[in-house]
Amino acid sequence: MTKTKIRFDGRILFLSCSSEAVSAQLQGRDLAVAEALPLRDNISTDEITPVVIMMTYDSRLGEYPYVGFKTEGVLPIGPFAVSNGGFQVTVAGKRYGKGSSRESSPLAEKSAGIRLIIAESFERIYRQNCDNIGIYTSTDFGLIERIRAGESIDIEEFLAGRDAVTQAVIRAGGLLPYSKAELPPRDDKVFNTITQDRPLTLVEKIILRRRINPEQAVSKGDGVFISADWRFSHDYFTGMCAHFMHEAFGDPVSLVRPHEIIAFQDHLILASQSFPHVRDNLLAAVGGLASAHDEFVRRYPVVEHGALKGQSGSQGICHALMTEQHALPGQVVVGTDSHSPHAGALGCLAFGAGATDIANSWVTGYIRCRMPEIIRVELSGRLTPGVTAKDVVLELLRNDSIRQGNAIGAVFEYRGEAVQAMSIDERATLTNMVAELGGFTGIVQPDQKTVDFIYQRRGVRIELEDWLFSDEGAEYKAQYSIDCSRLTPLVASPGDPGNGMPLAELEQPVAVDIAYGGSCTAGKREDFDYYHEVLAWGLEHGLTIAGHTRLYLQFGTVAVRDYCIEKGYLETFERLGVEMIMPGCGACANCGPGSSTRADQVTVSAINRNFPGRSGPGQVWLASPYTVAASALLGRLASFEELRERVGGGGLK
């Protein structure tokens, strides 16, 4: 067999912690590895391609890679710097490609000339996106000097340690060429009988039940294609998915089960109220993405959740609507967003993927994944008043093992007394933020609360099938245990969701300019129960929102708004001058009201991420809904407990 050799003739760009080192490379100097150290860890897709430049879905993105990359407080890489510099290889530290599943990031790198990315470790979705579009990746730093010496590298070196399916995809030059050759579409869904010779976790059961080649043995880490139920995109990526689909499969094309394909308008729906989009004259480009989304919906008989008529906002954020209206226990749910695990709160396998994966799923009905390792998260005890699921996730995020990337690609299976006591809304916070933990997905075993939730939200009665649980004695990669009765409110300092600390341990007061409650993570009914509880208490005690602070609350779905009207919450919010926002991703995606507009502004936010630039140029502290509302009243970071002690003379009861 002829071996494929790959030669890299371009320069190597080290994403160093030193802004001077980065600038020197852009000015034409090639650095030795030692000169570039230490390398930046935790480089997010928000830094590779900030949302304000994601206005197209083709090679024009090549102007922009790394324009949001921040080190030592500066942004050293400007437009065209990578392509003009002749770089073909990027080198970085741990957990490269954190955050959003946006395939815009590797596409921007590829379009700028990057052919290989070397990092100490990669986030799951980012690396799979690279595989899908033909960018090579490696964790072997020994390649650097070999490439500089002019050596051609055997493709086998980029396949080492990868599963057989991924190797085949890489050899084919990407997912879509592989799929056209190997995966004939199938209209009917696959449901296998689960046969087992050992105890299985719930996620393992779902994958074995839905994989398309049940006769092949599968072990942990093996790549598999599984038959998907719901496959969704949102307005940032519907056009990209359709573009890739038509390019590979023809135009028009027959979609597999279009009634289970959903197109959401949520990420760009509030762009006309977004400071950077208006300032930088980006609304025409936003209109281009929206038009591509609308064209797909017009051309194909898919399900649409679109804009509200006669007012701003949308029907809801995709993850919240999937959980409220569509996903069911045991199903496979996949979407163009890393927070797709939200629906795992219902006991389904829900995960995020890039545009190429989703385009392929529309045509074939299949989605690619690996048989994952499972992490058992045991949440014992009961959360005390004022402490929420968000605090639990912030506690997990600051775990050293997780911060080092040891949970990348794993499933977080939540169980224990505290989980059983949580509502589905709170369980969804746990599963939603598996994206920040670096995991594949999160899941909670369905129970009577799941059945009741589906009936209350949809009027649909279901019965749980008898296999929807993890077997006793199932194998787990690791176990993390948290005594929830001992947890206190936490925050994560700006820059990374893993920068968690107990709020009580802040060394000095942190004044807050913006308090923001919303997003898929914190725009649910129970989140609004928390906001209202704090704000109603404040009104009773003569408080108002601090003079230097603005409080924004954003509904996750129209149903959440209607719930707040029914409960009488809007009157409380109006009396305090809260700025209410209709459903959409908004400030969480730096595309709506509530984002910072200056670098000196400080935000406390109930969203899921605080990567540089995520919600504007300011500094974002992550916190729970309780802490966001209490901080708005005091004008500085504070828990509801502290608010009551300082103002009311007593703690929470």
The 3-state secondary structure of 483-533 reads: EHHHCCCEEECCCCCCCEEEHHHCCCCCECCEEEECHHHHCCHHHHHHHHH
> How confident is the model at residue 650, as a pLDDT?
55
- Label residue 69 exposed, middle or buried (CB < 10 Å: 0-12, 13-18, 19+): buried
Tell me the three state secondary structure of residue 61. Answer: helix
| Rounded Cα distance, 339 and 337, in Å | 5
| Rounded Cα distance, 133 and 239, in Å | 16
* Residue 356 · residue 214 · CB < 8 Å: no
> How confident is the model at residue 2, as a pLDDT?
61
Please state the separation of Cα 485 from the chain's center in Å: 28
- The single residue listed with the structure tokens 């995966």 is 183
Structural domains for the chain? 5-161 (3.20.19), 202-369 (3.30.499.10), 373-486 (3.40.1060.10), 491-649 (3.30.499.10)
Which residue type is seen at 437? L
Is the model's pTM score more than 0.85?
yes
Contacts of 649 (CB under 8 A, 6+ apart): none
Give mean pLDDT in consecutive 10-residue pieces for the chain, a chain of 653 residues. Answer: 85 98 98 97 95 86 96 96 98 95 95 98 96 98 97 96 96 96 92 92 97 91 97 96 96 97 96 92 91 96 95 95 98 97 98 97 97 98 97 98 95 98 98 96 98 97 97 97 98 97 96 97 98 98 97 98 98 98 94 95 97 94 98 98 84 45
> Would you list the DSSP string of 532-591?
HHHHHHHHHTT----TT-EEEEE-SBHHHHHHHHHHTHHHHHHHHT-EEE-SS-GGGGT-
The number of residues in the chain equals: 653
pLDDT in tens, 142-181: 999 999 999 999 999 999 999 999 999 999 999 999 999 9
> How confident is the model at residue 653, as a pLDDT?
39
| Rounded Cα distance, 623 and 604, in Å | 7
Q: Does the bond joining 489 to the residue before it have cis omega, within 30 degrees of 0?
A: no
- Which residues are 369's β-sheet partners? 224
Contacts of 263 (CB under 8 A, 6+ apart): 232, 233, 234, 235, 238, 293, 296, 297, 302, 303, 304, 305
> How confident is the model at residue 52, as a pLDDT?
86
| Rounded Cα distance, 573 and 294, in Å | 34
* Residue 285 · residue 292 · CB < 8 Å: no
* Residue 358 · residue 231 · CB < 8 Å: yes
> Is the sign of the CA dihedral 403, 407, 411, 414 positive or negative?
negative
Structure letter (DSSP) for residue 15? -
- Label residue 415 exposed, middle or buried (CB < 10 Å: 0-12, 13-18, 19+): middle
311-342-222 Cα angle (round to 5): 135
* Residue 148 · residue 373 · CB < 8 Å: no
> Terminus-to-terminus CA distance in the chain, angstroms?
73
